Structures are given as C-alpha cells and as structure tokens.
Amino acid sequence: MSIERSPLALPFPALPMIPGVTTRVARARYKAWDRCDLTYIELAPGTAVAGVLTSSKCPSPEVEWCRKALPLGTARALVVNAGNSNAFTGNRGRAAVEAIAARAAAHLGCQPSDVFVASTGVIGVPLPIDKAEAGLDAAFTAEPASWEDAAATIMTTDTFAKGAVTRAVVGGKTVQLAGIIKGSGMIAPDMATMLGFVFTDAAVDPAFLQTALSDANRKTFSCITVDGDTSTSDTVLAFATGGAGNAVLASDEDEGADAFRAALKDLCHQLALLVTRDGEGAQKLIEITVEGAESDASAHRIAMSIANSPLVKTAIAGEDANWGRVVMAVGKAGEPAERDRLAIRFGTTQVARDGLAVEGYDEAPVAAHLKGREIEIGVELGLGEGRATVWTCDLTHGYISINADYRS
C-alpha cells in the first residue's frame, strides 16, 4: 500500500543525542516490507520512567506489561515493534512480551520489569516470538541509529517521521528533551495517543516525572482526535536519564520545576500536533476553541464533539462554510449550552451570534479561510469561564482508502 506524504507534514528537526540514551533499529520482518520495523533503545542505569496508557478496555499485552512496570519507576530499555500490535492475542501475545523483555534484560543484566515494550499494527495477530528475538539480536549489535531512523522505524500508516525537541534550565543546568511519535489513525485518546516516547537528560524523581507527564498529557495528547477511535495500544512513555547533572527534581518547590514542566508540555504539544497533521487522508489541520462553558471539562467535551463530527470534518474537507454543522455538534454534546447565547466564528470572521447568523453575514472571508491548510473554529457559549482547545483534521476520501486497504 503506497501512501502519499501528508501535505501538512513538517521536516524532521535536528534532535540532540541525549546522554544515557542509545538508539538502534533492525529488521524483524513482521510484515513483507523492505524496512526496519524494530526499535531498541538502551537507557543508562538509574533512568526514571513515567507513562500514560490507553483507556481501552481491550488493551494489548504490551500496555498491561507497561502498566505493571511503571510503578517501579526505573527503566533500562525500550523495545518498539511496528507492523503487528499483538493486541487481542491471548496467552500467545503475553508470552511474546515476556520473551522480548527477558531477552533484552539478559542482554543488559537487568530485571525484565526494567524493559518497556510497545507494539503497533494489525490487531488480532500474535507477535511472532522467533522474529522478535531475531530482530532483537540484530539490534543488539547494530550501529547506533539516528532519531529520524528510530522515528521512521516505528511508523505504520504514517506518511512522515515525527520528532520534536525543546530545552529548559533546571538548577543552573541546561537540560534537553527530545521526542519521537507515531500515529495517523485510531486517534481519540482519553489518556495517550498511539506510541510516543520522550527522552530527557534531566534528573527527575519518577513520581514527579509521572505527575508532570500526566498534566502535560491532559492539554496535549488528550486534546487531539483524527477519527474518534481509541487504540488498544496507545502508549506515551517519558524517560529521564539524569545525564545533565542537575539536582534531582522531586517536587514543584524545586528550582527549575516550573521550567521543566513547561518544556515537557511544549514537547508533548509539538508531538501531538504532528500526529494530527498526519491524520489518515488529512488535507487540513483544524483547531477548535470553545470558551464560555460552565467548566473546562465541559468545554473539552463540546470541543471534542465538534472535532469528531463527520459532518463538520467533511464540510471542512469540501471547504464548505456550513457553520450549522458546528451548531449541531454543540447541541449533541450533552453539555450545558443555550442556543440564544451561542456564538461561532471561522478564523477571525464571526458567523453567528445570539442564536442566529450575524447581520450582514458575508461568507466570502470564511470561504477564503477554508481554502487554507490550517483552519480555526471558535465557539463562545456565554455560560461561564470554562475553556478548551482541541485539534483534529478533515475527513477525506483518503481516510477510507487507507483503512479499506490497511491489511493488504
């Protein structure tokens, strides 16, 4: 299956090497493709780990493995498989995860619980243990790979490799944060999105890292949607090696804690938008802001109702200034809203206010805005101080084609 590069794609940035992180890739040949599909990342002893995982009630064995290992707070390796999600595979799937963790642990001389595993691809096909072990053996002796190679290796229906970088000053030390992510469809998380991995040389206590990642997630990964579907494998993991030599961040009272939190949120925001830009078949990136709701949570649910509406998304794809579909999506959200207080804008143009079209409404500037690649929709409810911003993409024929041919 050949997929054209998204017109919303961004170039892969220059990511720094993170002290204590070594990335390698190999071919496990999970599918009949001529590319690497296994990423193996070694982490220095003492690396702290945190994570957010799918809210799906049918999670993969990899998600269950990470969920059990995360409370221990330490990591020595990450293994990511592309082309096979290993989800809904029963005991055979669990055995595959255990075998991968055991092999990497034996190579490093650590506990299996220090090895984190993630897989992405078709659901319902057990991950072949022989291919996984052979791929790992090849990775153990492979030359270190670039961040871009690692990002490309974890892709499935993605059309471009995704990475981001940021920095912060913590306790007088400049710390670096780098991240890679994959995701293109099945994106509507409650906790995380597809597979994303963040690495920093900051010294961070695992509990504080978990708090910071969870908080960052709520305003980033949990604010994007491509198609309204939540994956069985969604995983975001953050690893802190301590290589920068700063005093360990353990609470918000520590010097540099605010700066680290801001940098982590910025990195997660960058990664989340890259996924939305690569939505399957996407031609337009859509930002939806809801204000004046009774609470932030209510605003978020209304924004997601708009973002997940096929009618809204297809109207944007067709560059049709049909703001009535936004009214529909607000009304069906099940959240407090009053028709005669509702206001809607497209870009900077107000199209409706007080429950009806604005007087003298001219559709021309809205139509011009919809011809662009980046679209803004604003909703004002006039009920309170609640506010939320979410991101999605349009729904095109390309989405159908990609998913109809996914297993081909």
Tell whether residue 42 is among the known ligand binding residues.
no
- Greatest CA separation found in the chain? 73
Question: 288 - beta bridge partners?
Answer: 377, 390
For residues 206 and 103, what is the distance between their CA atoms, to the nearest angstrom?
A: 25
DSSP H or E run through 41: strand 38-53
Structure tokens at 266: 């910025």
Question: 275 - beta bridge partners?
Answer: none
Tell whether residue 403 is among the known ligand binding residues.
yes
Residue bearing tokens 């990195």: 267
- Distance between start and end Cα atoms, the chain: 7
Chain centroid, CA 360 distance in Å: 42
For residues 168 and 175, what is the distance between their CA atoms, to the nearest angstrom?
A: 5
Residues 6+ apart with CB under 8 A from 269: 216, 219, 220
Count of Cβ atoms closer than 10 Å to residue 253 Cβ? 7
Q: What does DSSP assign to residue 32?
A: S
Tell whether residue 182 is among the known ligand binding residues.
yes
Structure tokens at 404: 């109809």
Q: What residues are annotated to the active site? A: 193
The phi and psi torsions of 135 (rounded to 5 degrees) equal -65, -40
Q: Are 97 and 117 in contact (CB under 8 A)?
A: yes
Q: Are 370 and 346 in contact (CB under 8 A)?
A: yes
Tell whether residue 408 is among the known ligand binding residues.
yes
Q: Give DSSP secondary structure letters for 192-208.
A: --SEEEEEE-S-B-HHH
Strands 74-84 and 115-122, how do they pair? parallel
As annotated, the binding site includes 156, 182, 193, 280, 403, 408
**Annotated binding residues for substrate:** 156, 182, 193, 280, 403, 408
